[in-house]
Amino acid sequence: MEWLIPPELTELQRTVAHFVRRYLHPHERAVEIADHVDPDLMRELKRQAVALGLFAFNMPEEVGGPGLPYLAQVIVREQLGHVSMALSEAVGRPAKILLDCQGDQRDRYLLPAVRGEQVIAFGLTEPNAGSDATRISSSAARTAGGWVLNGRKHYISHADIADSIIVFAVTDAVKRHKGGITAFFVDRGTPGLEIRRQQKMGWRGYGLAEMTFDDCFVPDANVLGDVGDGFKLAMKNITEARLGVAAHCVGMGQRLLDLTIAHLKNRQLFGNALGEFQGVQWMLADAAVALESARLLTYQTAMLIDNGAKDVRGQVSMAKLAATEMAAKMADIALQLQGGGGYMSETAVEMYYRDVRAFRLGEGASEIHRNQIARSLMA
């Protein structure tokens, strides 16, 4: 795939690949076992990522990011798929919604997040509103000097460790997602905010949490964007986030393919290397075709955006669908070909088998992307 990558980005790709191998892989096994990343370790890894200019690689130069084109961003993100989700966070990618910070919010939230000093979570999903986020029911009512929040969110990435959570709440029950939802920074320690880490299948060391707001007071200064603009803000950067997931899954698929090829060459069965059996070769070939197809779709979509394409929603959905479904199949094939060893927790294959599953749900479930692709085709 090197011919697709302009020479000026090859060095960047090598730098991230080296960082992943040299600084992140050594901790992968311990993080899986503990289901925890030591905060001091994460601080140090982030410091190294900042020093290399990799941290906040999705951010523009005016706020301290590198201002990379989308193709460069997907190349970085792809390399981060070569390590567990938890450790990939060392090369953080703050939510782009933070670019809508106004006034002193830039110093309180945006700039510390870009420097890797603060974690800001994104709280949209609720028990009755996931794929259909227009149905959120958490509410914010006006009071002197601010707002009083009530409601519940769940499955929120990093809410367990976040310094602040961007919470979307209904401020006008009639307008709802058409001008009646507002985004608020709710800071850790706010009275009435309760956060509980949730148990899950994979992504060990990467917390998801549910939270409740019980008459939480949030000052006016913590409104992100304009009152009523929350839903628009939540959707504004969704395309980019989805393309990032596609790139991450391409990286996961590549590491799984590499592990599988190494195993097929080494494992001796019935007097042959396992990889010499035709049935196995066909599985490998089909998996490699799916991987390259997903990678091409992802790169092509990034290039379309870089070239100024206006509406890439259908294209992004194709990339996200292809890459997440490919990674899931790749994990299954990798585990099957490793035999019992693939089922054992010592292998990265077992970790990936659990980790890839989430990507067909988050950032739009596969079915939502099929809907979008069909809509774009028929527009």
Residues labelled as active-site residues:
363
Distances (CA, A) of 159 to 155, 225, 265, 311: 9, 21, 43, 32
> DSSP readout, 325-337?
HHHHHHHHHHHHH
What is the smallest separation between the CB atom of 379 and ligand FAD, expressed in angstroms?
A: 17
Of 156-215, binders to ligand FAD (CB under 6 A) are: 156-157, 203, 208
- Taking CB under 6 A as the binding criterion, the range among 48-56, 155-163, 213-221, 340-348 that sits at the site for ligand FAD is 155-163
Q: What's the token pair of residue 210?
A: 């549910």
What is the smallest separation between the CB atom of 252 and ligand FAD, expressed in angstroms?
A: 14
Q: Does 236 bind ligand FAD (CB under 6 A)?
A: no
CA 152 – CA 141 distance, rounded (Å): 15
- Give the one residue of 124, 218, 250, 322 binding ligand FAD; rule: CB under 6 A: 124
Cβ proximity to ligand FAD, 165 vs 290, nearer residue: 165
CA 212 – CA 192 distance, rounded (Å): 8
Give backbone dihedrals phi and psi of 180, rounded to 5 degrees, phi first.
-120, 20
Q: Does 130 bind ligand FAD (CB under 6 A)?
A: yes
CA 193 – CA 148 distance, rounded (Å): 11
Cβ proximity to ligand FAD, 267 vs 370, nearer residue: 370
Cβ proximity to ligand FAD, 301 vs 324, nearer residue: 324
Cβ proximity to ligand FAD, 177 vs 263, nearer residue: 177
Which residues contact residue 264 at a Cβ distance below 8 angstroms, ignoring those fewer than 6 apart? 273, 274, 275, 280, 284, 337
DSSP state of 179: T
Residue 210: count of CB within 10 angstroms of its CB: 20
Binding mask 256-275 for ligand FAD (x = CB under 6 A): --------------------
Do the beta carbons of residue 346 and residue 339 sit within 8 Å?
Answer: no
Cβ proximity to ligand FAD, 284 vs 326, nearer residue: 326
Binding mask 84-123 for ligand FAD (x = CB under 6 A): --------------------------------------xx
Of 17-56, binders to ligand FAD (CB under 6 A) are: none
Distances (CA, A) of 128 to 26, 90, 131, 328, 358: 40, 32, 9, 27, 19
Give backbone dihedrals phi and psi of 353, rounded to 5 degrees, phi first.
-55, -40
Distances (CA, A) of 36 to 24, 46, 87, 337: 14, 16, 10, 29
Cβ proximity to ligand FAD, 348 vs 356, nearer residue: 356
Q: Does 231 bind ligand FAD (CB under 6 A)?
A: no
What is the smallest separation between the CB atom of 351 and ligand FAD, expressed in angstroms?
A: 14
Q: Does 367 bind ligand FAD (CB under 6 A)?
A: yes
CA 189 – CA 234 distance, rounded (Å): 24
Cβ proximity to ligand FAD, 28 vs 280, nearer residue: 28
What is the smallest separation between the CB atom of 338 and ligand FAD, expressed in angstroms?
A: 24
Closest CA to 73 of 230, 232, 203, 237: 237
CA 155 – CA 363 distance, rounded (Å): 12
What is the smallest separation between the CB atom of 36 and ligand FAD, expressed in angstroms?
A: 17
What is the smallest separation between the CB atom of 100 and ligand FAD, expressed in angstroms?
A: 17
Binding mask 333-362 for ligand FAD (x = CB under 6 A): -------------------------x--xx
What is the smallest separation between the CB atom of 8 and ligand FAD, expressed in angstroms?
A: 33
Residues that bind ligand FAD (CB under 6 A): 122-125, 130-131, 155-157, 203, 208, 358, 361-362, 365, 367-368, 371
